[in-house]
Structure 1
Amino acid sequence: MSYAIVGFGKIGQALAQAFARKDIDVTVASRRPPEALAPQARAIGPTVVAKSLRDALEADTIILAIPFGEHREVAKALRGWEGKTVIDATNAFPVPEELDGLPSSAFVAKAFTGAKLVKGFNHLVAATLAADPIVDGGHRVVFLSSDDEDAIAPVAALAKQLGFAPVKLGKLNEGGALVHARGRTWGQLIFQDLFKKEQ
């Protein structure tokens, strides 16, 4: 399984640190050329490699760590998204009217035709996401939701590999609503830094 993070701001770098901590290879890309990202990528760790957006999108699993409004540009970079898993770590806030009542991830999913989309890694601030998720014998929780039941299992496996405790919330408009904003109100689980103890 190959992984890429699109977006190399605070959230993208925090996620790259999580991959580097576990020596998992990950490609990073943004609107900036790879040469501009390379020094920071190298500073995070040898398993983090900056590439062009086109090359990064060859990965099996792509994490969107970009401002919500930029998802369409990324979606246009590939003709088809079949066989890909897209992890939506974006937050739409305040919620734009164009969503017309849809959860923002359901709106994002429309742009990535053929991909399996999972909402995840979006509810924590960057500094928390970058920190070691294993504290006092517990694992920091990440919430996952998707309208594609089969898509959640491999993303949950990745979250575990990274040291997190995945908690499945079900469909985007059901449990997933807790990690989406509505209008000018954050979902109830956003910013909740929770831990799950080892059984």
Structure 2
Amino acid sequence: MNIGIIGAGQIGSALAVRLTSLGHQVYIANSRGPETLTDVAQKTGATAVTAQQAAQRGTDLLVVTIPLEKIPALPKDLFAGVPADVPIIDTSNYYPLLRDGHIPELETGDLTESGWVQQHLGRPVVKVFNNILAAHLEHNGKPAGTPGRIALPVASDDAAAKQKVLQLVEELGFDALDGGTMRESWRQQPGGPIYCNDLPADQVQQHLARLGTARTPEQHAEFLANQAQQEQAMQAQGIKLK
């Protein structure tokens, strides 16, 4: 496939390494220009391009993997001319303390994180790869049937795009699970039991079933509180996301 990746941070680079190793043609971009991606291109095997070129050349699949706070700054015409059947993956997470500041719609629970991204991009997205560490994404994929194989939920309102991404997740070495619609994607957000815990399929399915589909105010408050604790712990360790 021809795959465009917009964002050359940890997740974007990890995906580029794995996807090129599987024989896909990968075009990777950041906000500073391809001339700043020489090292990334050498490490990953991807071709460094501009964001607009990544969007146009990723004719089979696009990945947006930039900090949530940067989503509104993407060019408004970035996906102009991109066919509607090209899946757009969103990997973002909301970190109000360490990076993104407070976004009212995400604080009130009116939108899921990728629902907010979807509004800004003006295109349906597929939420995946947000709940696994980059190093684990790059190195911990296993053949199908391996005991303890990590499972990754995939959420979207676009059934065809979701199916294509489910197949890609399997190809990368993870059990792909249907995470439901975009409104149900809160279940894989930070602060919840599925987030960055590298769980096998049966445990992820149990958590999805236990959480239900419609997020309650109590669940939203619980996730936010858990996320705040995690961010405070990261801050105490000197971890910075900017």
Which range, TM-score by smaller chain? 0.7 to 0.9
4+ residue runs over 4 A deviation: none
Correspondence for 2:211 = none
Are 1:179 and 2:179 counterparts?
Answer: no
Tell me the distance in 2 between the aligned counterparts of 1:10 and 1:168.
25
How many percent of aligned residue pairs carry the same amino acid? 29
Does the 8 A contact of 2:6 with 2:28 survive in 1?
yes
Does the 8 A contact of 1:159 with 1:165 survive in 2?
yes
Tell me the distance in 2 between the aligned counterparts of 1:49 and 1:196.
34
Does the 8 A contact of 2:17 with 2:43 survive in 1?
no
Does the 8 A contact of 1:134 with 1:164 survive in 2?
yes
The answer for unaligned runs of 5 or more in structure 2 is 97-101, 203-242
Does the 8 A contact of 1:75 with 1:111 survive in 2?
no
Helix, strand or coil: the match of 1:128? helix
Higher relative contact order (CA 8 A, sep 6+): 1
Instruction: Indicate the RMSD between aligned Cα atoms, in angstroms.
Output: 2.2
Correspondence for 1:149 = 159
Correspondence for 2:63 = 63
Correspondence for 1:43 = 43
The one-letter code matched in structure 2 to 1:140 is I
**Pairs aligned (count):** 189
Cα displacement string for residues 76-133 of structure 1 (whole angstroms, at most 9, x for unaligned residues): 24263551321110001236224342101111111222x3311001001111112140
Compute the displacement of 1:75 (Å).
Answer: 5.1
Correspondence for 1:188 = 193
Determine which structure has more spread, i.e. the larger CA radius of gyration: 2
Correspondence for 2:92 = 90
Compute the displacement of 1:19 (Å).
Answer: 0.8
Does the 8 A contact of 1:87 with 1:117 survive in 2?
yes
TM-score normalised by L of structure 2: 0.70
Does the 8 A contact of 2:8 with 2:40 survive in 1?
no
Tell me the distance in 2 between the aligned counterparts of 1:129 and 1:82.
28
TM-score normalised by L of structure 1: 0.84
Structure with the bigger percentage of helix: 2
Compute the displacement of 1:54 (Å).
Answer: 1.0
Tell me the distance in 1 between the aligned counterparts of 2:20 and 2:34.
18
Cα displacement string for residues 135-185 of structure 1 (whole angstroms, at most 9, x for unaligned residues): 7825432210012223210111121222222111111222x221124xxxx
Compute the displacement of 1:50 (Å).
Answer: 0.8
Are 1:103 and 2:112 counterparts?
Answer: yes
